[in-house]
Amino acid sequence: MAGDLLLGLGDGSWRISGGGSELLVRLSGGCELRGYRGDSPSDSGKDMLEIPLPPWQERPDEPLPTKRARLLYESRKRGMLENCILLSLFAKENLNRMSERQLNLYDRLINEPSNDWDIYYWATEAKPTPAVFENEVMAMLREFAKNKKREQRLRQPDLEYLFEPPR
């Protein structure tokens, strides 16, 4: 949202304004209102369009193969190309050898924050990672993002590797 202004109000709330739209987010007790608010189509007669995002919830009874498949999909479909590439390649390399605990940490990391740029900045160490996401999976992602092997990472991996026998 180019030209928008983000103001910290000092009471744990933030106000985003610009372009005739405004969204107020209040933080209390560690809770955050997650949502997107933008201009509505001109023919609707409404001034604003609000799309609420459901809160992230852990799925303790989800079978591991289902969890891995869901996390692979969610790693590939991010909404910003940088994370689509980074997370899909990370998922290809790591999901099949992660423990259930690590999968749950990864699930929380990629699904709880409502802003994908935050995840990207934490992974590339452009911004410090909040304590709630500072764990072994975040360390793995940061290490992966350094690309020490100097691989070309220009697009997501093809899915054919899913049908290859395990190595």
* pTM exceeds 0.75, yes or no: no
Q: Residues with Cβ < 8 Å from 1, sequence gap 6 or more?
A: 16, 18, 19, 38
Euclidean distance between the first and the last CA atom of the chain, given in angstroms as a whole number: 45
| Distance between CA atoms of residues 51 and 33, nearest Å | 11
pLDDT digits (tens, 9 = 90+) for 70-107: 999 999 888 888 888 899 999 999 999 999 999 999 99
**Residue 80, phi then psi, degrees to nearest 5:** -140, 135
